[in-house]
Structure 1
Amino acid sequence: MSTAAIFDLDRTLIDESSTPIFMRHLADAGIGADSSIPFAEPVVKAASSALKTIFNVVGESRLLMQPAKLAVRASVGWSVVDVETAAHKAAAEIVEHLQPFAQSVIDDHRAAGDLLVLASTSPLAFTRPLAEALGFDGVIGTDWGRTDDKHSRYTGELEGAFVWGPAKAEAVEKWASEHGVRLSGSTAYSDSYYDAPLLDLVGNAVAVNPDARLQALAAVKGWPVRHLDKSNGVIKVAGREIQEWARPIMRPEVIAPYADIAFQFDDKIPADGPAIIVFNHRSYFDPTVMGLLLARAGRNVRGLGKKEVFDVPVIGRLLEGLGGVRVERGTGSDEPLEAAARALRGGEVVMIAPEGTIPRGPAFFDPELKGRWGAAKLAADTRVPVIPVGLWGTENVWPRSQRLPNMNPLTRPAVSAVVGDPVDLKYRSPDADTKRIMLALTALLPPEALEHREPTTEELLRTFPPGYTGDPTAEATRRPGSDT
């Protein structure tokens, strides 16, 4: 038997109600625009706007479903052909407004061999063209009656049930039986508590942008929660990411009053759209400075981080909730880059330290920065801008040899973060583009970074973890991004 991926439409595949879009295209076609009641049009528009706002904020309710159930009466006499033409135009617009990560989820299910099904309370007159535009295999919805003559028109009556709540689950179950689909191996996505009967039918239920009651039910039943406007795993509270809630306090004087942090040219970070932010790695304090920089730019960021950090209880879960991408070094897996590429295709910002880890020993003092290919490969795959950020002085706040940062407010070491122009990449050779990225980072560092000098033993030891007992001069050729 086959399996299927079953998608609700409103507040799931798109972030609001699709009804106003359909109605606008019907009105543009001259369908349903007439009114015999004086002053009715502005009243209807005001009421529709209020209902739309309520729906977009809190989701479905029995009260909001009553106008939808009665809407069929307005269709009496409408030409089936004219409605279909208008619905195709509406579908083309809706496809352009899918949530940023909806298409990648659809593509994953298609690649896995699942049948794709659109299951919506909306009339099939509206959703059939949309399912066709999305390349779906099936569509389930409320059917409007029509005459069977050559000039077919809608009768103003329902043909069958109003497909909502338990009736929607029954319609899906019937469709699955008719098409040989095994629901226990299928997946369903919805935002609404009233789709709980549908979600209970499948083996893999996913609450997408859930309303309050579905959020609670998902917690009880162990259903995963997704927000298709964000990377998988990102936590939203009251409709906003943790990073967005924290942004007002993400200021140096609040987060790091023990460091004198100076930002330069932070307006070069794109205000919207995808970008790869690269930085040179000098200290455990680097992520703090970069977090402050991205908050200052008003951007949420997805960072690639070592598996060991994600394995730390509480901290690891928080990093996942912030959209962090786990990297298991030494495995050669492309999975982290694939996750980062998905984030970029969804319009997000990804942050990478091309060196992979803080250089040790003599490598830390080498004026020539050496990086790995990850950022260059990611850029070639997605063709998004690579924005370099040169960090300096972070090691004076938290050197690798210390378990905790120097938080003495009297010392306040100077730290700088300088943002550069997008790196001019050629996308032909990861090695050559990596060198271009590292040269761009070097150009943002102060003149002293370019000086060749012999560090003291004490300086070398500051680049190693606490308790290091090896030879600090023996690691000059260690491969970037490895700890061995």
Structure 2
Amino acid sequence: MKVALFDFDGTLYPHETFETLRAHLKSHPKYKKNYKHFVRHFAPAYFGYKMKMVPKIKMQNRALESYILSFKGYSKQEIDGFFADVANEMSEELRTSLLEKIQQLKQENYYIVLISGAFIPLLEALFKGVGFDYIVGSKIHYNGNKLDYKTRFERMFADRKIDIIKEHFKNKEVDWTNSQAYSDSITDLKMLELVGKPVAVAPDSDLLSVAQDKNWKILNDF
């Protein structure tokens, strides 16, 4: 089995996903009232980060946690509907060349995995029909049909992505040498190093330096 691993934020989607989510919540005709709840919960971590008292990763975790907690009391259907609205607009800005690459890899019998820190219902709505075999993202918990705001939120990121990948493929024979991985960020270095054919997509400066040093394929023209 050959595998193709795709990052989302900055790779398939060229912008910062959280900033897009924030803007949609602030302007959404039905859910914009949730924005003040998000800000109230997130503000201490944000200002702590700005004052260099809160680590970046903790601030990012609190950002997503605060975001979903702003939907306290809402049903799964309502939350899924909101993310479907966001996905509808985001879909116009996906990198079409990479979507075409995914379809090519599917025809070549690659097992395609999407790996992201974004919320799973957003990813599922955004890539419905694209053909991902497995989607890894940040899970939203429910108690019955309502948002479960008591269960600890876990954001999918960096090394945790590697743990999930290895767990998913532990009983499968994977041809890692001929497998591929696509990402824009140095934070996904371990994911890129898992495969024999890593691809740096519009890479940040740190990943660009590594990719050039290791002679990896670099995609910049879209």
Q: Which runs of 5+ in 2 are unaligned?
A: none
* AA partner of residue 18 (structure 1): T
Residue 143 and residue 181 in structure 1: after superposition, are their counterparts in 2 closer, same or farther (change >3 A)?
A: farther
Aligned identity (percent) is 21
Question: Using a 3 Å threshold, how does the CA distance of structure 1 residues 199 and 156 change in structure 2: closer, same or farther?
Answer: farther
After superposition, residues 320-331 of structure 1 pair within 5 angstroms as: none
**1:219 partnered with 2:212:** yes
1:105 counterpart residue number: 101
Residues 35 and 96 from structure 1, CA distance in 2 versus in 1: closer, same or farther, beyond 3 angstroms? closer
* 1:68 alignment counterpart: 60
Q: Name the residue aligned to 2:147.
A: 153
Pick one of 130, 133, 144 that aligns with 1:134.
130
Deviations 1:253-310 (Å, cap 9, x if unpaired)?
Answer: xxxxxxxxxxxxxxxxxxxxxxxxxxxxxxxxxxxxxxxxxxxxxxxxxxxxxxxxxx
Superposition deviation, residue 203 in structure 1: 2.0
Asked if 2 retains the 8 angstrom alpha-carbon contact of 1:189 and 1:208, the reply is: yes
Indicate if the aligned counterparts of 1:117 and 1:138 stay in contact, CA closer than 8 A. Answer: yes
CA contact (8 A) 2:11 2:201 kept: yes
Shift of 1:94: 2.2
Runs of 4+ in 1 over 6 A off after TM superposition: none
How far did 1:133 drift? 4.6
Q: Which residue of 2 aligns with 1:175?
A: 168
Q: CA deviation at 1:23?
A: 3.9
Q: Which residue identity lines up with residue 35 of structure 1 in the other structure?
A: K
Q: Which residue of 2 aligns with 1:267?
A: none
Residue 180 of structure 1: CA displacement? 5.8
CA, structure 1 residues 185+173, in 2 after alignment: closer, same or farther (shift >3 Å)?
Answer: farther
Q: Which runs of 5+ in 1 are unaligned?
A: 52-61, 230-484
Query: Against the structure 1 CA distance between its residues 140 and 223, is the aligned structure 2 distance closer, same or farther, given a 3 Å change threshold?
Result: same
CA drift at 1:69: 0.6
Q: Does the C-alpha gap of structure 1 residues 115 and 164 become closer, same or farther in structure 2, counting only changes over 3 Å? A: same
After the TM superposition, which residues 4-15 of structure 1 pair with which residues of structure 2 at under 5 Å, given as runs?
Answer: 4-15=3-14
Q: Write out aligned runs for 1:12-161 (5 A).
A: 12-27=11-26, 28=28, 29-30=30-31, 33-35=34-36, 63=56, 65-70=57-62, 71-76=64-69, 77=72, 78-147=74-143, 149=144, 151-155=145-149, 157-158=151-152, 161=154
User: What RMSD over aligned residues (CA atoms) do the two structures have, in Å?
Assistant: 3.0
The alpha-carbon distance between structure 1 residues 125 and 16, as it changes in their structure 2 partners (threshold 3 A), is same
2:115–2:135 contact (8 Å) kept in structure 1: yes
Instruction: With a CA cutoff of 8 Å and minimum separation of 6, indicate the structure with the bigger relative contact order.
Output: 2
Shift of 1:200: 1.1
SS of the residue corresponding to residue 155 of structure 1 reads: coil
2:147 is matched by which residue type in structure 1? R
Secondary structure at the residue paired with 2:199?
A: strand
| Corresponding residue pairs, total | 206
Q: Return the alpha-carbon distance in structure 1 between the equivalents of residues 76 and 146 of structure 2.
A: 6
Task: Give the TM-score of the pair, scaled to structure 2.
Answer: 0.78
Secondary structure (helix, strand or coil) at the match of 1:33 reads: helix
Higher-Rg member (1/2)? 1
Give secondary structure in 1 for the equivalent of 2:34.
coil
TM-score scaled to structure 1, two decimals?
Answer: 0.38
1:247-258 to 2 correspondences below 5 Å? none
Cα distance in 2 between the residues matched to 1:72 and 1:186: 33
The CA deviation string for residues 149-186 of structure 1, in whole angstroms up to 9 with x for no partner, is 2x221325445x53211111111222233666544432
The AA in structure 2 aligned to 1:129 is A
Q: Which has the higher helix share?
A: 2
